[in-house]
Amino acid sequence: MTIRKTLARLALTAAAGLLTLPAWAEESGWAQLNLPKGVTDISRKIYGLHMKIFWVCVVIGIVVFGVMIWSLVAFRKSKGAVPDTTMVHNTRVEVVWTIVPVIILIAMAVPAARTLIEIEDTTKTGLNIKVTGFQWGWEYEYLDEGVSYYSHLDRASDAARELGSGIDPTTVPHYLLNVDHPLVVPNGVKVRLLITGADVIHSWWVKDLGIKKDAIPGFVNEAWFKIDDDFTGMLRGNCAELCGRDHGFMPIVVDVRSKADFDSWLKSTAAGQKQAAAPAAPAAAPSAPPATAAATAAASG
């Protein structure tokens, strides 16, 4: 009796919680529950496919779970249900529930294949960037302009993530999703990424671009994106393939700028890197692009 009462109270609490759910979801945003639509045509198509297959599953779920729950309620021994032991098979029904899923699957496969074909079309690109994953960070190389630099987890996150650092991660802006030098790209241009790995396999993933591509030593994988003309700002992602101790600490930040801003950034960075390289030894590592650090700091504020 007391157990039943406790359960009833629990159920009431849960129901109250569910009623307040919409308000709560509003507050925290769908960003915590669902894929983002992203900032490219492809990422929105992927989002569309995701939602389509999700609703297909929901509808099938309502029907199947509905029948199951109906059986649990209607055919209880305690309610005096008598089993119909002659019901052992029914060819017509079995054919129907084999054919109907096949039709649904074909209806899903066609748009998925169409989007996939589009994703794989890496022709007619305007900018080529080589992305190299290493333990633990990324190197970006603008192939035609001779600009290259490394991108690591930013200092603030790096200090806070140490075991027992005593720093509250909530006080660090973009904790674990911020880097020292983000990848700078223009909007409205079809950018091709040539992705590879230096040591072990990594995976370059920015969900707002709808791109996740493995960075594999000995392979060069291709991916492309064309960001909406009107979008500027920061996109954040992670390495998505286990790559050792600091796999969780090699984020990706993409700094999206207008074409003009990007061009001037690229020009000044190229000049800066040439200057830095000139007096130094030939084997000098590529230096940091001057403009990005300030941009990151501004964006994270």
Partner 1 sequence: MAEHHAHAAAHADHDHKPHGWRRWVYATNHKDIGTMYLVFACIMFFVGGAMAMVIRLELFQPGMQFVDPQFFNSMTTMHALIMIFGAVMPGWTGLANWMIPMQVGAPDMALPRLNNFSFWILPFAFTLLLSSLFVPGGAPAGGWTMYPPLVLQNGASFPMLIFAVHLMGASSILGAINIVVTIMNMRAPGITLLRMPLFVWTWLITAYLLIAVMPVLAGAVTMLLTDHFFGTTFFTAAGGGDPVMFQHIFWFFGHPEVYILILPAFGIISEIIPTFSRKPLFGYETMVYAVASIAFLSFIVWAHHMFTVGMPLAAQLFFMLSTMLIAVPTGVKVFNWTATMWRGSLSFEPPMLFALAFLFLFTIGGFSGLMCGIVPADYQYQDTYFVVAHFHYVLVPGAIFAMMAGVYYWLPKWTGKMYDLKLATWHFWLSAIFVNVLFFPQHFLGLAGMPRRIPDYAVQFTDWNMVSSIGGFFFGAAQVLFPIVIIKCIRSGQPVGNRAWEGAHGLEWELPSPPPYHSWTTPPSDAVIARGAEH
Minimum CB–partner distance for residue 66 and partner 1 (Å): 10
CB 290, min distance to partner 1, A: 27
Q: Please, which residue, 12 or 60, has the CB nearer to partner 1?
A: 60
* Beta carbon of residue 196, minimum distance to partner 1 (angstroms, whole number): 10
Report the residue number, 104 or 270, with the smaller CB distance to partner 1. 104
The residue (of 143 and 242) whose beta carbon lies closer to partner 1 is 242
Question: What pairs with residue 211 in β-bridges?
Answer: 206
* Residue whose entry in the numeric block shows the structure tokens 């849960």: 14
Taking the least distance from each CB to partner 1, the nearer of 61 and 126 is 61
CB-wise, 147 or 253, nearer to partner 1?
Answer: 253
Minimum distance of partner 1 from residue 148's CB (angstroms): 21
How many Å apart are CA 236 and CA 153, to the nearest integer?
A: 12
| Residue showing tokens 């991916």 | 223
Query: Which residue, 96 or 285, is less far from partner 1 as judged by CB?
Result: 96
> Could you tell me the smallest distance in angstroms from the CB atom of residue 169 to partner 1?
4
Q: Minimum distance between the CB of residue 38 and partner 1, rounded to whole angstroms?
A: 9
Residue 49: both structure tokens together:
């496919």
Question: Could you tell me the smallest distance in angstroms from the CB atom of residue 32 to partner 1?
Answer: 5
Q: In whole angstroms, what is the distance from residue 289 CA to residue 301 CA?
A: 20
Residues 6+ apart with CB under 8 A from 150: 137, 138, 139, 140, 181, 285, 286, 288
Closest to partner 1 by CB, 19 or 163: 163
3 state SS of 287: coil
The CA angle 219-222-225, to the nearest 5 degrees, is 155
Q: Report, in Å, the least distance between residue 60 CB and partner 1.
A: 7
The DSSP secondary structure of 217-253, one letter per residue, reads TT--EEEEEEB-TT--EEEEEEE-S--STTGGG--EE
Q: Which is nearer to partner 1, 19 or 97 (CB)?
A: 97
Report the b/e string of 134-157 with b at 16+ CB within 10 A.
Answer: bbbbbbbbbeeeebbbbbbbbebb
Q: What is the dihedral of CA 167, 168, 173, 177, to 10 degrees?
A: 90
- 130-131-132 Cα angle (round to 5): 120
Upstream peptide bond of 97 is cis (omega within 30 degrees of 0): no
